[in-house]
Structure 1
Amino acid sequence: MKRIGVLTSGGDSPGMNAAVRAVVRKAIYHDVEVYGIYHGYSGLINGNIKKLEIGSVGDTIHRGGTILYSARCPEFRELEGQRKGIENLKKFGIEGLVVVGGDGSFRGAEKLTNHGYPTIGVPGTIDNDIPGTDFTIGFDTALNTVINAIDKIRDTATSHERTYVVEVMGRDAGDLALWSGLADGAESILIPEAEYDMQQIVARLKRGHERGKKHSIIIVAEGAGSGVEIGKQIEEATGFETRVTVLGHIQRGGSPTAFDRVLASRLGARAVELLLEGKGGRTVGIQNNKIVDHDINEILSVKHVIDEGMYQLSQELSI
C-alpha cells in the first residue's frame, strides 16, 4: 500500500487534529503518501481531496476541531453516494482509508471496506459511546470543560443559595453526565440509560435542605430530558429557587488535554499500521491502557452500556 486517505466525520471532537497528524506522519515515515479528504464523506463524494505533507499537519496537535473539517452526509448512506466516493478513491489512487469519527462514521467505513477499500475506524467523539474502547478521542477534554463549568456554577449556586440544573451533551449516552456528576459531587445525575424518579430527586433535595444544605447541582444528559423542563418541575415541587444552564457546543471546543493528544496519536498511528498490514474493516481503541483493534461489524453490532457500578456509586455518595 503506497497511498492512503484520511477524513474526519460527524461531530468534531478535541484531538481529531492530533489523530490526523499521527496518520500523516506515521504514513510518511513508512514512505506512504497521504491524501486528506475535506468535509468528511461529503468531500469524498465531491472529490475535495488534497495531498498532505509533513508540514500540512505542523502546529496542529494542540488545536481543537478538525483541520479537515466535517459535515453530515446522508447521501453516503445510499449505494449511489458510496459509488461516487469510490470513484474518487480510484481517481486519486487511494488504496486504504482512515476515518476518524463516531458510530455513523464507522458505518461509512464499514461500507467502504465491503466495497473493497480497506478502511480503519478511529473513535473520535465526546460522547464516549463507541464499544471496544475504554475512551474515545475528545471525551477527556469535553469532560474537563464540563467540570470547569460546573465548578464555576457551583460558586454562584453557593453565593445565591440556589439549585442549579446543568444540561450536558449526550443524546444516547450518559458518560459525560455521569463522569462530570461524580467528579463534581452532583446531587442527582440523569442519563438516558437509566430511568429516574422525580419524586426521589425532590426528596433528596429536601433532605439536603433540612440538614442545612444551601445549594444543589443536578446534571442532566440531553437524552434524558430537557434541563429547562426538569428545572421547572424541581422548582414547582420544592419551592427552591432554581436556575438552568445548557452548556451546548462549548463542550466540543477547546485545546485537547494531554490524555486526548496522546490517545489520538497512538490510535492514529495504529490505524496506519493496520492498513500497512493489509487489514481493513477494523476499529482501533484502548482497553486497560493497551491499544487494541476489533472487527468493525462486531463493534457496530454491540450497544454502548454505561458503567453501572459508577452510576450506583454516584447515587450512594449523593445521599
Structure 2
Amino acid sequence: MKKIAVLTSGGDAPGMNAAIRAVVRTTIYNGCEAVGIKRGYAGLIDGDFTKLDLGSVADIIQRGGTFLHTARSEEFMTKEGKEEALESIRIHKIDGLVVVGGDGSFRGARELCELNVPVIGVPATIDNDIFGTDLTIGFDTAVNTALDAINRIRDTATSHERIFLIEVMGRNSGWLALEAGLAGGAESILVPETPVDYETIVKRLQRGLDRGKRHSIILVAEGVGSAFDVKRKIQELADYDIRVTVLGHTLRGGTPSATDRIIASKMGAFAVNLLLDGKTDLMAGMVGNHVVGIPLQEIIGKKKGIDEYVHNLAGILAI
C-alpha cells in the first residue's frame, strides 16, 4: 500500500478535521502518500483529489467542520456513478480509502468494498446513532453546545417565568436530546424511541408549578416532530406560556471538545493501520475505551437504541 486517500461525507461534525489529520500523519509516518478527496463521494466521482502533506493538516485539530468539505451525492448511488468513482480511484492510483461519516457514508463505503476497493470507515455524526460504537465523532461537542444553550435559555426562562421547548437535532435518534437534557436538568426529554405521553408532561409541569416552580425546560429530539407541534399539543391540555427555540445547525459547528479530538485521532490512526495490515470493509469504532475494527455489514441499517437507564434516570431526577 503506497497511497491512502481520505474523504468526509454526509453531515459535518466537530472533530472531522482531527480525524483527517490523524489519517494523513499516520499515513505519512508509515512511508505512504496521503491524498484528500474534496466534497465526499461527489468529489470522488469528479476526481477532485489533492495531495496532502504534514503542513496540509497543521492547525486544523481545533477547527470544526471539515476542510475537505462534504456533500451528499445521489449520483454515486447509481451504477454509472460508482463506475466513475472507481475510475477516479484507478487514475489516481489509490490503494486504500478512509471514509469519515455516518450510516449513509458507510453504505457508500460498502459499495466500494464490493468493487474490491479497500475501505475503512470512521464514524462521525453528532447524532451518535451508529451501531457498534459507543461514541461517534462530534457527539460530545454537540452535547456541550446544546448544554450551553440550555443554560442560557434557563436564565431567561427563570426571569420571565416561562416554559421553554428546545428542539435539538438527531434525526431518528434521541441520544443528543437525552444526554443534553440529563446534563441540563430538563424537566422532560422527548425522544423518538419512546411514545410521547402529553398528559404525563402536563402533570409534571403542574406538579412543579404547585410547589412554586415558575420555569421549565423540555428537550425535544427532532425525530419526535416539530417543537411547535409539541407546544400546540401541550397547550391543548393546559394554557401555559410556552416559548420554542430550535437549535438546528448550531449543534454541528464550533470548536471540537477534547473528547472528540481524542477519539477522532485514535480512530483515524487506527483506520490507517487497518489498511496497512491488509484489512478492509471495517469501521474503526470505540468500544469501552478501546478502538476496534467492526465489520461494516454488521452495522449498516441497524438501530442503535438509547440508554434506557439514562432515560429513566432523567425522569427520576426531574420530579
Same fold (TM over 0.5): yes
Q: In the TM superposition, what is the alpha-carbon distance from 1:240 to its structure 2 partner?
A: 1.9
Equivalent positions of 1:1-319 (< 5 A) are: 1-319=1-319
Q: Per-residue displacement from partner, 1:233-263 (whole Å, max 9, x unpaired)?
A: 3234222211000001000000000110011
Query: Take 1:234 and 1:297, find their aligned partners in 2: how far apart are those partners?
Result: 42
Query: Take 2:225 and 2:201, find their aligned partners in 1: how far apart are those partners?
Result: 14
Q: Per-residue displacement from partner, 1:237-292 (whole Å, max 9, x unpaired)?
A: 22221100000100000000011001100000000000000011000111110111
Query: Take 1:234 and 1:166, find their aligned partners in 2: how far apart are those partners?
Result: 14
Contact 1:173 1:192 in 2 (8 A): yes
Query: Take 1:306 and 1:257, find their aligned partners in 2: how far apart are those partners?
Result: 22
**Counterpart residue identity of residue 210, structure 2:** E
Query: Take 2:169 and 2:12, find their aligned partners in 1: how far apart are those partners?
Result: 13
Query: Take 1:76 and 1:312, find their aligned partners in 2: how far apart are those partners?
Result: 42
SS in structure 1 opposite 2:299?
A: helix
**Counterpart residue identity of residue 315, structure 2:** Q
Identity %: 57
Contact 1:137 1:260 in 2 (8 A): yes
Query: Take 1:78 and 1:195, find their aligned partners in 2: how far apart are those partners?
Result: 37
Query: Take 1:218 and 1:237, find their aligned partners in 2: how far apart are those partners?
Result: 16
SS in structure 2 opposite 1:66?
A: coil
Contact 2:37 2:48 in 1 (8 A): yes
Contact 1:234 1:242 in 2 (8 A): no
Query: Take 1:252 and 1:190, find their aligned partners in 2: how far apart are those partners?
Result: 20
In the alignment of these two chains, the number of paired residues is 319
Q: In the TM superposition, what is the alpha-carbon distance from 1:232 to its structure 2 partner?
A: 2.5
Q: In the TM superposition, what is the alpha-carbon distance from 1:301 to its structure 2 partner?
A: 4.6
Q: Per-residue displacement from partner, 1:19-62 (whole Å, max 9, x unpaired)?
A: 00000000000011011000000000011011111111011000
Runs (5+) with no aligned partner, structure 2: none
Q: Which runs of 4+ in 1 moved over 6 A?
A: none
Query: Take 2:157 and 2:235, find their aligned partners in 1: how far apart are those partners?
Result: 14
Query: Take 2:77 and 2:312, find their aligned partners in 1: how far apart are those partners?
Result: 38
Q: Per-residue displacement from partner, 1:182-231 (whole Å, max 9, x unpaired)?
A: 11111111111111111111111111111111100010001101101212
SS in structure 2 opposite 1:300?
A: coil
Query: Take 1:172 and 1:77, find their aligned partners in 2: how far apart are those partners?
Result: 22
Query: Take 2:288 and 2:256, find their aligned partners in 1: how far apart are those partners?
Result: 21
Contact 2:2 2:33 in 1 (8 A): yes
SS in structure 1 opposite 2:217?
A: strand
SS in structure 1 opposite 2:280?
A: coil
Query: Take 1:194 and 1:84, find their aligned partners in 2: how far apart are those partners?
Result: 43
Query: Take 1:170 and 1:28, find their aligned partners in 2: how far apart are those partners?
Result: 35
Query: Take 1:233 and 1:164, find their aligned partners in 2: how far apart are those partners?
Result: 14
**Counterpart residue identity of residue 82, structure 1:** K
SS in structure 2 opposite 1:98?
A: strand
**Counterpart residue identity of residue 302, structure 2:** V
Query: Take 2:158 and 2:315, find their aligned partners in 1: how far apart are those partners?
Result: 22
RMSD between aligned alpha carbons? 0.8
Say which is worse superposed, 137-146 or 237-246, in terms of deviation.
237-246
Contact 1:283 1:294 in 2 (8 A): yes
Q: In the TM superposition, what is the alpha-carbon distance from 1:314 to its structure 2 partner?
A: 1.2
Query: Take 1:259 and 1:294, find their aligned partners in 2: how far apart are those partners?
Result: 21
Contact 1:171 1:192 in 2 (8 A): no
Query: Take 2:81 and 2:56, find their aligned partners in 1: how far apart are those partners?
Result: 28
Contact 2:103 2:301 in 1 (8 A): no
Q: In the TM superposition, what is the alpha-carbon distance from 1:78 to its structure 2 partner?
A: 1.7
